[in-house]
């Protein structure tokens, strides 16, 4: 007998027929003798619809009431799935975040999970039941509904798995696993049988959309194995585990695990910044106060007169806000000119094999140079190299790098 959390995304829950299919997957695990808790997202597109209602009601809507509205999407699907499971003869009940309870901070629309009371789930399992839980939400200290931010259902599932000491957390999506890159760009991209937490964190942070970053980080901290599966295709998925648990799969692995790209980046260059202590702080402190996330940062060698240029990236959606903040602080920063560019892509190679294999970055740079693809900025971590390139070269760059690192060879998956 295993304890399993099964999480189903919005496409899996998009309508009664799909919910019936999901119920069949849950029934299969329950009849295999496993103790099952299910976490569900709202139907595909439903959260966006509810958010739009809030905006139409008032452009300055209250965050507490926003949470009341948007949390309803997952409550609907959890109730419908419980009804469907009951119709199949299973002992299933839905449990809202306040009923378990899942306790969160009071940061409405961006709450963090504090604790989950396991008592209700233990009782459900003791009675041979199935708990169906709406993802993305919990109850704040004042008793109000609090949501976890977009993509929060993945985090809910991993948190529930950690609380009930589950053997694994199965994340069902519209893809059947983690691939070496986007198969729409590289048809010979391979599905990976296993990926480390560290690699998945890096891939998720640089553009891979399979899992939400917070959920992977939580799984890594709590040592919860994640399995990524498709709701629509009954094939083996991808296991996400710690590096020490790779074991038998190690011989199958390449030095580079995957290649990710993200077009949702924008570049800002501040020219003529004083080369003096506190100059960087004068730039990034007001951006942080405005909740603008900064990613890649490159500073040039000081020019004559002790001036330098500083380039960094922000989310494309935050470009206008970031530019406005910098313009308002222009005098304090002391830059002479601000240049912006949203026609760029962040391209990244990821793999734990980088730790013990020199020359990985050099191969990336030479491969791009051979195709006359200019590199605008570079950042690295222990298992990742990211470069900024012109957006028009995105697909060519992904394809040539995928080939350069041997990722489109035939293999398992």
Number of helices (H) and strands (E), helices first, in the chain?
A: 13, 20
Question: Helix, strand, or coil here: 67?
Answer: helix
Find out whether 376 and 267 touch, Cβ atoms under 8 Å.
Answer: yes
364 confidence band (pLDDT: 50, 70, 90): very high
Query: Are residues 276 and 387 located together in one domain of the fold?
Result: yes
- As a whole number of angstroms, the distance between CA 54 and CA 68 comes to 10
Between 236 and 396, the higher pLDDT residue = 396
As to burial, measured by CB atoms within 10 angstroms (0-12 exposed, 13-18 middle, 19+ buried), residue 145 is buried
Question: Helix, strand, or coil here: 278?
Answer: coil
Query: Are residues 121 and 14 located together in one domain of the fold?
Result: yes
Tell me, yes or no, whether 179 lies in a domain. Answer: no
Query: Are residues 146 and 252 located together in one domain of the fold?
Result: no
Q: What CATH number is attached to the domain comprising 402?
A: 3.30.2130.10
Between 379 and 19, the higher pLDDT residue = 19
The domain boundary, picked from 133, 153, 174, lies at 174
Average the pLDDT over 257-286 and give the result.
93
CA angle (234, 237, 240) in 5-degree steps: 155
Query: Are residues 258 and 137 located together in one domain of the fold?
Result: no
Query: Are residues 167 and 298 located together in one domain of the fold?
Result: no
> What is the structure's pLDDT at 413?
40
> What is the structure's pLDDT at 250?
57
Checking if the pLDDT of 301 tops 80, the result is no
Tell me, yes or no, whether 161 lies in a domain. Answer: yes
Query: Are residues 127 and 11 located together in one domain of the fold?
Result: yes
Checking if the pLDDT of 249 tops 60, the result is no
Query: Are residues 156 and 252 located together in one domain of the fold?
Result: no
Tell me, yes or no, whether 403 lies in a domain. Answer: yes
Average the pLDDT over 28-56 and give the result.
95
- As a whole number of angstroms, the distance between CA 34 and CA 333 comes to 60
> What is the structure's pLDDT at 356?
79
- As a whole number of angstroms, the distance between CA 413 and CA 174 comes to 17
Checking if the pLDDT of 355 tops 90, the result is no
As to burial, measured by CB atoms within 10 angstroms (0-12 exposed, 13-18 middle, 19+ buried), residue 244 is exposed
Tell me, yes or no, whether 213 lies in a domain. Answer: no
Checking if the pLDDT of 373 tops 90, the result is yes
Find out whether 26 and 38 touch, Cβ atoms under 8 Å.
Answer: yes
Other C-beta atoms closer than 10 Å to the C-beta of 64 total: 15
Summarised one tens digit per residue, pLDDT across range 78-124 is: 999 999 999 999 999 999 999 999 999 988 988 999 999 999 999 99
Average the pLDDT over 297-326 and give the result.
87
Query: Are residues 258 and 164 located together in one domain of the fold?
Result: no
Summarised one tens digit per residue, pLDDT across range 195-211 is: 999 999 888 877 667 78
Question: Helix, strand, or coil here: 309?
Answer: strand
Tell me, yes or no, whether 202 lies in a domain. Answer: no
The parent domain of residue 161 ranges over: 3-174
The domain boundary, picked from 174, 209, 224, lies at 174
200, 187, 205, 296: which is closest to 241 by C-alpha? Answer: 200
Query: Are residues 272 and 147 located together in one domain of the fold?
Result: no
Which residues touch 367 (CB under 8 Å, ≥6 apart)?
Answer: 400, 401, 404
Find out whether 21 and 53 touch, Cβ atoms under 8 Å.
Answer: no
> What is the structure's pLDDT at 253?
62
As a whole number, the mean pLDDT across the chain is 91
Q: What CATH number is attached to the domain comprising 70?
A: 3.40.1160.10
Query: Are residues 163 and 309 located together in one domain of the fold?
Result: no
Tell me, yes or no, whether 354 lies in a domain. Answer: yes
Checking if the pLDDT of 5 tops 70, the result is yes
> What is the structure's pLDDT at 269?
95
Tokens of 202: 């890096």
CA angle (89, 92, 98) in 5-degree steps: 165
Query: Are residues 259 and 364 located together in one domain of the fold?
Result: yes
Per-position DSSP letters for 76-133, written without gaps between them = HHHHHHHHHHHHTT--EEE--TTTTTEEE-S-TTS--EEEE--HHHHHHHHTT-EEEE
Tell me, yes or no, whether 8 lies in a domain. Answer: yes
Distance in Å from the first CA to the final CA of the chain: 27
> What is the structure's pLDDT at 148?
93
In our burial notation (b when 16+ CB lie closer than 10 A, e otherwise), range 301-315 reads eeeeeebbbbbbbbb
163 confidence band (pLDDT: 50, 70, 90): very high
> What is the structure's pLDDT at 303?
63
The domain boundary, picked from 174, 194, 222, lies at 174
Query: Are residues 268 and 362 located together in one domain of the fold?
Result: yes
**Domain count across the chain:** 2
Tell me, yes or no, whether 353 lies in a domain. Answer: yes
- As a whole number of angstroms, the distance between CA 158 and CA 341 comes to 37
């Amino acid at each position: 007998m295993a304890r399993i959390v099964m999480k189903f995304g919005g496409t899996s829950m998009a309508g009664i027929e799909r919910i019936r299919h999901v119920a069949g997957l849950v029934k299969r695990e329950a009849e295999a003798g496993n103790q099952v808790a299910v976490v569900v997202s709202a139907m595909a597109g439903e959260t966006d619809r509810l958010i739009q209602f809030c905006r139409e009601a008032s452009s300055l809507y209250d965050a507490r009431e926003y949470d009341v509205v948007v949390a309803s999407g997952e409550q609907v699907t959890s109730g419908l799935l419980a009804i469907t499971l009951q119709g199949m003869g299973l002992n299933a009940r839905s449990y809202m975040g306040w009923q378990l309870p899942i306790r969160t901070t009071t940061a409405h629309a961006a709450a963090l999970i504090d604790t989950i009371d396991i008592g209700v789930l233990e009782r459900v399992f003791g009675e041979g039941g199935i708990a169906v839980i709406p993802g993305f939400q919990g109850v704040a200290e004042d008793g109000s509904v609090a949501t976890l931010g977009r993509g929060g259902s993945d985090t809910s599932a991993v948190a529930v798995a950690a609380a009930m000491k589950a053997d694994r957390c199965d994340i069902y999506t519209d893809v059947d696993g983690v691939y070496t890159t986007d198969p729409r760009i590289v048809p010979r991209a391979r599905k990976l049988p296993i990926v480390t937490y560290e690699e998945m964190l890096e891939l998720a942070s640089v553009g891979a959309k399979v899992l939400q970053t917070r959920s992977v980080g939580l799984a890594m901290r709590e040592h919860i194995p994640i399995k990524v599966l498709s709701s629509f295709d009954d094939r083996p998925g991808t296991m996400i585990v710690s590096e020490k648990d790779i074991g038998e799969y190690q011989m199958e692995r390449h030095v580079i695990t995957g290649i990710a790209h993200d077009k949702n980046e924008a570049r800002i260059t501040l020219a003529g910044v004083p080369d003096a202590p506190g100059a960087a702080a004068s730039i990034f402190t007001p951006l942080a106060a405005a909740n603008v996330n900064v990613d890649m940062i490159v500073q040039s060698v000081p020019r004559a007169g002790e001036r330098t240029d500083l380039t960094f990236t922000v989310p494309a959606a935050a470009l206008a806000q970031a530019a406005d903040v910098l313009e308002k602080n222009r005098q304090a920063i002391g830059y002479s000119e601000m240049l912006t560019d949203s026609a760029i892509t962040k391209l990244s190679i990821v793999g734990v094999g980088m730790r013990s294999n020199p020359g990985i970055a050099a191969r990336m740079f030479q491969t791009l140079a051979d195709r006359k693809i200019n590199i605008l900025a570079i950042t690295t971590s222990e298992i990742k190299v990211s470069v900024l390139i012109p957006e028009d070269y995105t697909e060519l760059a992904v394809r040539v790098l995928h080939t350069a690192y041997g990722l489109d060879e035939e293999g398992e998956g």
